[in-house]
């Protein structure tokens, strides 16, 4: 069974994440959406809210599971028999950042990283942009799945 993890903070999940998850779910037998817990980060949405947003998006997808975790992603992978990390790339800066992490993960474990390019229609969307739009009372609904529309 080919299992992959798609890790992130998902604060909140965006249409870009949604696109990568939908496409990734077709490539793997099981795709684990893993919401990372970082005690040093200040989140806009609670961990429970973020998990609920994602679960609502994919409730009909039987090969998608949503979990939370803390610590190194490769440790989670090794404990859960996950061989692949799925990452989305929006631009060259994402690639450079993700490449360094992928090389490090590969050096420390046998975990492979699989990159998918975001769809052109969502390549400009990031969670930080969505949070900024929300903070300033803008119309964020075109940037997130329906489950996030609060």
> Tell me, what's the pLDDT at 40?
82
In a domain, 150, yes or no: no
- Full 3-state SS string of 7-31: EECCCCCCHHHHHHHHHHHHHCCEE
In a domain, 88, yes or no: yes
Instruction: Say how far apart CA 53 and CA 14 lie, in whole Å.
Output: 10
Single pTM value for the model: 0.94
pLDDT < 50: residue spans in the chain: none
Distance of CA 73 to CAs 34, 146, 148, Å?
9, 28, 25
Q: Output the domain CATH number for residue 42.
A: 3.40.50.620
User: By residue range, what is the domain housing residue 33?
Assistant: 3-144
Which residues are marked as active site? 17, 41, 90, 127
Number of domains in the chain: 1
In a domain, 67, yes or no: yes
In a domain, 71, yes or no: yes
DSSP-derived letter for residue 118 is P
In a domain, 82, yes or no: yes
- pLDDT tens across 51-85, in order? 999 999 999 999 999 999 999 999 999 999 999 99
Tell how strand 84-89 and strand 3-8 pair up.
Answer: parallel
């Amino acid at each position: 069974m080919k299992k992959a993890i798609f890790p992130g903070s998902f604060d909140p999940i965006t249409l870009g994440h949604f696109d990568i998850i939908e496409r990734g779910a077709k490539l793997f037998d099981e795709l684990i959406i893993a919401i990372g817990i970082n005690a040093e980060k200040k989140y806009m949405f609670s961990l429970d809210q973020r998990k609920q947003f994602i679960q609502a998006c994919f409730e009909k997808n039987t090969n998608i599971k949503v979990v939370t975790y803390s610590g190194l992603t490769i440790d989670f992978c090794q404990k859960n028999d996950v061989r692949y990390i799925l990452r989305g790339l929006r631009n060259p800066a994402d690639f450079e950042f993700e490449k360094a992490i992928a090389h490090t993960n590969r050096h420390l474990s046998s975990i492979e990283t699989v990159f998918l390019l975001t769809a052109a229609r969502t390549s400009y969307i990031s969670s930080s942009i969505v949070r900024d739009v929300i903070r300033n009372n803008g119309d964020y609904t075109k940037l997130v799945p329906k489950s996030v529309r609060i």
